[in-house]
Structure 1
């Protein structure tokens, strides 16, 4: 399956919004630990894993854009 390549600007925006979501996940982790709610803790851990995966995928795509020189913005 072929994906449409994103611009560097789009990639940085995606990275920023993903990292911004980290704030709410950290808050949920802290609240779940304080309350001793294992189900909320498990949900927050899964969300954190999703964020980590998203950041890794975005970083890989940014590296590919930099290597190919196919980004819209100049380096």
Structure 2
């Protein structure tokens, strides 16, 4: 399985966070529609999509924190 590369620049990471936010909005709409229809299969799909958004957001936050730690180490030298 190919590993997805994280954006390398800070601007790219910020854009990634914005994309995750838009993804979260879409998932929330999907969940609301599935609940309104009482469709368990659509709701399960929406919840899995929500897990993907949360995971992507966590990965971006981790990479931003690692970047901050790298800058702090360089400043200490």
Q: Name the structure 2 match of 1:65.
A: 67
Q: CA deviation at 1:56?
A: 0.4
Q: Which has the higher contact order (CA 8 A, sep 6+)?
A: 1
Q: Name the structure 2 match of 1:6.
A: 8
Q: Which stretches of structure 1, 4 residues or more, deviate above 2 A after TM superposition?
A: none
Q: Aligned equivalents of 1:22 and 1:14: distance in 2? A: 12
Stretches of structure 1 that go unaligned for 5 or more consecutive residues are: 71-75
Q: 1:37 aligned to 21, 36, 39, which one?
A: 39
Q: TM-score if structure 2 supplies the norm length? A: 0.82
Q: Aligned equivalents of 2:9 and 2:49: distance in 1? A: 26
Size of the aligned set, in residue pairs, is: 69
CA RMSD of aligned residues (A): 2.0
Stretches of structure 2 that go unaligned for 5 or more consecutive residues are: 73-77
More helix by share: 2
